[in-house]
Amino acid sequence: MAYTDEKLRAKILEMYPETVKHGIEIGLDFNKEKNAYMIKFKKGGHELTTHLEKKDADDCMNDIKCIYLGVQVGQFVKNFEEAEK
């Protein structure tokens, strides 16, 4: 399945709207050696880098949520919600 990094980023933002709600920036790059996308979540001085396997990225583009990525997003958002209290 062919798609651009920007289309995948837009799909992640669509599937995980809490990132937008909390002003979390998302950057990603494809790592050919690992056959995975390296995804960086950033807000202020906080940063989380995780990976998304190519197959999971393909599923994401087909509107299938990736559980692993969802857990990572959820934890990052939770950390910000606690810090904002």
Q: What pLDDT is attached to residue 58?
A: 94
Q: Extract the tokens encoding 9.
A: 């980023």
Q: Extract the tokens encoding 71.
A: 């857990």
User: Angle CA(39)–CA(37)–CA(71) in degrees, nearest 5?
Assistant: 55
Give this prediction's pTM. Answer: 0.82
CA neighbours within 13 Å on the CB side: how many for 80? 21
Q: Distance between the two ends of the chain, CA-based, in angstroms? A: 42
Q: Which of helix, strand or coil describes residue 62?
A: coil
* Mean pLDDT in consecutive groups of 10 residues from the start of the chain, 85 residues: 92 90 92 95 89 93 85 82 71
Q: What pLDDT is attached to residue 85?
A: 67
Per-domain residue ranges of the chain: 5-84
